[in-house]
């Protein structure tokens, strides 16, 4: 896989769940012509990822690895449950759904 850019928390100078990370992402993706409505934030932590994604109006996909288990694992309780657009039990489930969706969509226009 070839990446156009890689940004780390150290580069940005802040760590999740800081809104600065999302501001930085949006600023830099805009330089590539990517608009907010084209972004899907895929992550596990409701507190560190989905709550800030909600604040910024970014679509998100929760990888809910603890489905059926109590608690939040190594992440903090988010307090209020953030809105999630998609939920999968694993990255493998997410990848399979993406493959299925792309195969049904046909070639890009």
pTM to 2 decimal places: 0.83
Write the DSSP symbol of residue 107: S
Angstrom CA distances, 3 to 6, 7, 24, stand at: 7, 11, 17
Ranges of each domain in the chain: 9-105
Q: Please write the tens of the pLDDT for every residue from 47-104.
A: 999 999 999 999 999 999 877 777 666 677 677 889 999 999 999 999 999 999 989 8
Interatomic CA distance for residues 64 and 45, integer angstroms: 8
Q: Please write the tens of the pLDDT for every residue from 2-19.
A: 998 899 999 999 998 999
Q: Which of 10, 37, 38 is nearest to 24 (CA)?
A: 10
For residue 73, the model assigns a pLDDT of 66
Angstrom CA distances, 78 to 31, 83, 87, 91, stand at: 32, 11, 16, 21
Ramachandran quadrant class, 106 (left: phi over 0; alpha: psi -120 to 50; beta: rest): left
For residue 72, the model assigns a pLDDT of 67
Give the CATH fold of the 9-105 domain: Rossmann fold (3.40.50)
């Amino acid at each position: 896989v070839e990446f156009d850019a890689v940004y780390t928390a150290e580069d940005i100078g802040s760590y999740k769940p800081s809104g600065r990370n999302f501001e930085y992402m949006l600023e830099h993706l805009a330089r590539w012509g990517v608009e907010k409505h084209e972004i899907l934030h895929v992550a596990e932590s409701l507190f560190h990822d989905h709550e800030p994604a909600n604040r910024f109006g970014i679509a998100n996909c929760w990888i809910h690895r603890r489905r059926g288990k109590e608690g939040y694992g190594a992440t903090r309780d988010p307090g209020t449950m953030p809105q999630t657009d998609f939920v999968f039990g694993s990255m493998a489930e997410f990848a399979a759904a993406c493959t299925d969706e792309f195969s049904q969509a046909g070639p890009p226009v």
